[in-house]
Amino acid sequence: MTLDAAQAFLQVHGVAHSYGGVQAVRGVDLEVRSGEFVGLIGPNGAGKTTLLDLISGAVHPQRGRVVFKGQDITGKPFHAVARLGLVRTFQTARVFARMTVLSNLMSAPAGQRGEDLVPSVFGGWREQERTQLGRAREMLGRFRIGEAADQYGSELSGGQRRLTELSRTLMAGPTMLLLDEPFAGVSPTNRARLAAHLRALSTERGITILMIEHRLDLVEQLCARIVVMAEGRAIAEGTMSDLRRNKTVVSAYLGEVSAHAG
């Protein structure tokens, strides 16, 4: 189960967190290699979102350690973690409602790529803004939401909100994305499109991804390795077919899902 430390992009060692009396995450170990697209599944309340919060710096673990690209990031604030290239999206897509799609993208924090760091002493602000605008337009084109560039966040469909949030996240130049139910609120017709975009981020741009998702068909399509959480613990991992054969996983989650599907 343990990967070669040199290959591990993200290492989570025994993280734990309680909200009052609720032990949301009870000591989870997890490793993700560079370029992997890993799924995180499990029943409601299993602790999946809390685990993403603990990795991304939104919530600080009461126990355990998080190491990203060899650097201990435990307890670092969200924005500092994002600056290192580890960025998350949310269960409910976060888009500024009173800003246009283009302004949403332009408001993304400056990324880490060299072209974003043109020093202002050389009159670089305008240059930097032009570069950002170019990147924003390229992003809108890539995700085919250019026609919505001047629409306000509040006017967007579920799919457009997701793509706007994702584009804004990508403006920061992340090397790893933590996605919390990216397909929630996306219409069935747009699901395949979003899945293709996510696959391309992984295969073409080499972005490492850890994704929580309840739609197991999409998890199976996108993720070669899937980790299952239940009651605050990581209880199993493997391909979807491995997990279907795992009695513990079937009784903790998959049985429940197929009962609902049936």
Q: Is 182 in the site for ligand ATP (CB under 6 A)?
A: no
Per-residue burial over 43-63, b if 16 or more Cβ lie within 10 Å, else e, is: beebbbbbbbbbbbbbbebee
Check: CB of residue 17 under 8 Å from CB of residue 26.
Answer: no
Please identify, among the stretches 44-52, 103-111, 159-167, 233-241, the one whose residues bind ligand ATP according to the rule CB under 6 A: 44-52
Of 20 and 262, the one with the shorter C-beta distance to ligand ATP is 20
In 10 A of CB 38, how many CB atoms?
21
Shortest gap between Cβ of 253 and ligand ATP (angstroms)? Answer: 10
Give the count of beta carbons closer than 10 Å to the beta carbon of residue 245.
11
Binding ligand ATP by CB under 6 A: which of 15, 30, 46, 179? 46
* Nearest distance in Å: CB 53, ligand ATP: 7
The rounded distance, in Å, linking the Cα atoms of 55 and 76 is 10
Residue from the set 11, 32, 48, 234 that interacts with ligand ATP by CB under 6 A: 48
Give yes or no for residue 167 binding ligand ATP (CB under 6 A): no
> Within its chain, how far is the Cα of 244 from the centroid?
25
Q: 19 or 125: whose CB is closer to ligand ATP? A: 19
One residue of 24, 86, 222, 243 binding ligand ATP per CB under 6 A: 24
Task: Find the part of the chain contacting ligand ATP (CB under 6 A) among 1-9, 40-48, 153-161, 251-259.
Answer: 40-48
**Structure tokens of 112?**
């880490």
Is the CB of 47 or the CB of 173 nearer to ligand ATP? 47
One of 11, 16, 37, 49 touching ligand ATP (CB under 6 A): 49
Token duo for residue 133: 């605008």
Residue 210 main-chain phi, psi, to 5 deg: -120, 120
Integer Cα distance of 129 and 258 in angstroms: 50
Q: Is 45 in the site for ligand ATP (CB under 6 A)?
A: yes
Which token pair is 143? 């995700």
Binding site for ligand ATP (CB under 6 A): 19, 22, 24, 42, 44-50
